[in-house]
Amino acid sequence: MRIPLTYAKAIYDDKEINAVVNSLKSGYLSSGPETKAFEKEFAEFCGRKYALAVNSGSVADFVALQALGLKKGDEVITNAGFAFPTTIASMIYAGLQPVFIDNKGLCIDPDLIKYAIGPKTKAIMFAFTLGFSPDMDKIVAIAKKHNLKLIGDCCDAVGSTYKGKRVETFGDVSTISFYPAHHMTTGEGGMVLMDDEKLYREAMGIRDWGRDCTCGSILGSCKNRYEHPPFDHRYYYTRLGLNFKMSEMQSAFGRVQLTRLPEFIKKRKENYKLMAELLGEEYNPEVSAFAYPIFSKNKEKDMAYLNSVGIDTRTMFAGNVLKHPAFQKISLLIATGLDEADRILDEGYFVGIGPHLNKEDILFIAKEIKKCRALI
């Protein structure tokens, strides 16, 4: 029996472990010098001016929506298919109204956005699912024409490009996850990326309990501590926030992971290309794939078979997110039919192509997928 081929696996060694140990010895536990350095280095890697470290990709979505200053009841256009539940939950918790449209393949369908725009529409938010991109020319043009905020969830897509432009650089703000299955990891954690300094400082205040002080100083060395007497500026709150910070240990781990990230992305692209060639499917060299998508009329049987021969599989996240009980309890606005979202739910699953898998592994996975197809 082969060793089970998990769809994802964190790759790290003594370099990360030693970095964490050194961070513990430094005396900093919460966000400190390692976090500041990690934010700067990650922003530079992605081509953004600012990066804000938070404790998960889900929180990154929530902080992004809060920082944009959207008001309660404002509408946010998003897609129902292949959606991750916390993206939608972030809107609900922020008091926003999601408006659902269908997918085009894995991603949001830009041609359907026009049917969802109304007087309360203030933003478009979607994921670059599994690293794939929708037509960003159309989406950016729509956002500019209607003065809509644009939020890109890039949790699956670090290193992907659209016409040569990094997907993390599109829109007002983009979000990243460092969950162990993703392109690099800090265990748990995420980043909020943007270019506007005012937006960056608003996001920082929300992340740091809602305080007004966003000078970014460490250990209480605020430059303007007594400018609002009788308050200490470090404890002066002008917005609602919570503690969403990343720990120093995570940041130290992440800084080492970031040095590995180019090689991780290269290997993902190689595995994605090989899998596509073996299965006779289209390959997009701009995709830094999180996993390899499969559609099958016999999804459950295929997944059961692949699991039985040691190949880990996953459904396409929530499929059609609106079919789940939690999202039948919220106020729903659905602007289009959701046929593609239903197809994703009924037929879609994925297998791993991460850097933990070698050429022999990909050859084996592709061979077993073709066996499933031969039985149809």
Nearest to 125 by CA among 155, 92, 160, 88: 88
For residues 6 and 52, what is the distance between their CA atoms, to the nearest angstrom?
Answer: 31
Whether the link from the prior residue into 230 is cis, omega within 30° of 0, is yes
**183 given a catalytic annotation:** no
Sign of CA dihedral 290, 7, 108, 296: positive
Cα separation, 64 vs 153, whole angstroms: 10
Token pair 């890109």 in the structure block, residue: 152
Helices marked H in 229-326: 248-279, 299-308
Tokens at 303, concatenated? 């997944």
Q: Is 346 exposed, middle or buried (0-12, 13-18, 19+ CB in 10 A)?
A: middle
What is the Cβ-side half-sphere exposure of residue 156, based on CA atoms within 13 angstroms? 24
Question: In 3-state terms, what secondary structure has residue 98?
Answer: strand
Q: In angstroms, how far is CA 236 from the centroid of its own chain? A: 31
Catalytic residue among 182, 183, 228, 324: 182
Active site residues: 182
